[in-house]
Amino acid sequence: MHHQQYGLLPLDFAKAKPANGAVSRRGFIVSSLASGFALAAGAAQASTIVTDSRGLIAGEVKIAVQGGEIPAYRAMPEKGRDLPVLLVIQEIFGVHEHIKDVCRRYAKLGYCAIAPELFARQGDVSKMSDIGQILGEVVSKVPDAQVMSDLDAAVAYAKGTGRVDVKRLGAVGYCWGGRTVWLYAAHNPQLKAGVAYYGLLNGMKSEIKPADPIDLAANIKAPVLGLYAGLDKYIKEDVVEQMRGLLAKGSSGSEVLIFPGVDHGFNADYRPTYDAIAAEYAAKLAREWLHDHGA
């Protein structure tokens, strides 16, 4: 699948291509973050936003996890204490330059923003040029339980800096990361709030992914703001409406909004699907949502 089609065509995870060769359970394929953008993301667009690191401590760190350590990008103000913590959860392209920039944007707002490389054990997606290969050989092989554990480890890392207040914990995720925000909101009762950008609500269940967000909607503990695209071929409007109905049966106070006339990836300023007006308004809503819910 060409990168220009990503977000424009539905995915069939049932046809994901198995990885060539087994990955050791204790092996970590990715030991450091890639620079720039993932190959499969295509050439960066003129609209790409670059946030400077003035006044920040920003760069790669290592997070201790089960079986070893994974790389992560961390950005936080140079000064201050009791900073809120924000988990920034990657797209399928891994922690590339766009995700790093998102961390810096939130750090400028006073957050300790941290983006762990959640595919570190399964594969280096930065070097893969085909979306289908990423989905079949890496994404389909990443257990949800592993992701939840690694995110918990990222929170523990942030706490270890001695400068944060983990009681003010938030999460924001994009695409695959948007789905993950919904799952983490059901997993961690300490999460204050989450923002899920166009995360898949169904269709990814497998032996290592036992539940989709739509299965967990009524049991989500933290309020999540779902930001979805009206032209998204991945996530149909009837599925979004079903999610809304199920969320209403719970007590999380989550909400789901649909931006009309924009497509999947409307926040990705480095891609052709970027829509500046929708992205800026969504960012405003995300900031307010996190702040208003104590994150």
- Calpha distance 116→173 (Å, rounded): 12
Show the DSSP H helices in the chain as ranges: 97-108, 131-137, 144-160, 176-187, 213-216, 237-248, 276-292
Give the model confidence (pLDDT) of 37-72 as tens digits. Answer: 888 777 788 899 999 999 999 999 999 999 999 999
Confidence band for 35, pLDDT divided at 50, 70 and 90: confident
Give the largest CA-CA distance in the chain: 49
Q: What percent of the chain has pLDDT over 90?
A: 83
pLDDT at 41: 78
Contact 17/133 with Cβ under 8 angstroms? yes
Query: In this predicted structure, what is the pLDDT of residue 34?
Result: 85
Active site residue ranges: 175, 232, 264
Higher-pLDDT residue of 21, 48: 48
More confident residue, 219 or 12: 219
Q: What pLDDT, on a 0 to 100 scale, did the predictor assign at position 8? A: 43
How does pLDDT run across 242-282, given as a tens digit for each residue?
999 999 999 999 999 999 999 999 999 999 999 999 999 99
Please give the mean pLDDT across all residues of the chain: 91
Summarised one tens digit per residue, pLDDT across range 149-173 is 999 999 999 999 999 999 999 999 9
Full-model pTM:
0.92
Sign of CA dihedral 147, 152, 157, 161: positive
- Element of type H or E holding 71: strand 68-77
**Which residues face 88 on adjacent strands?**
172
Phi, psi for 282 (deg, rounded to 5): -60, -40
Is pLDDT above 70 for 17? no
Domain harbouring 146, CATH code: 3.40.50.1820
Domain that holds residue 113: 3-292
Counting the structural domains of the chain, the total is 1
For 251, residues 6+ apart whose C-beta sits below 8 A from its C-beta are none
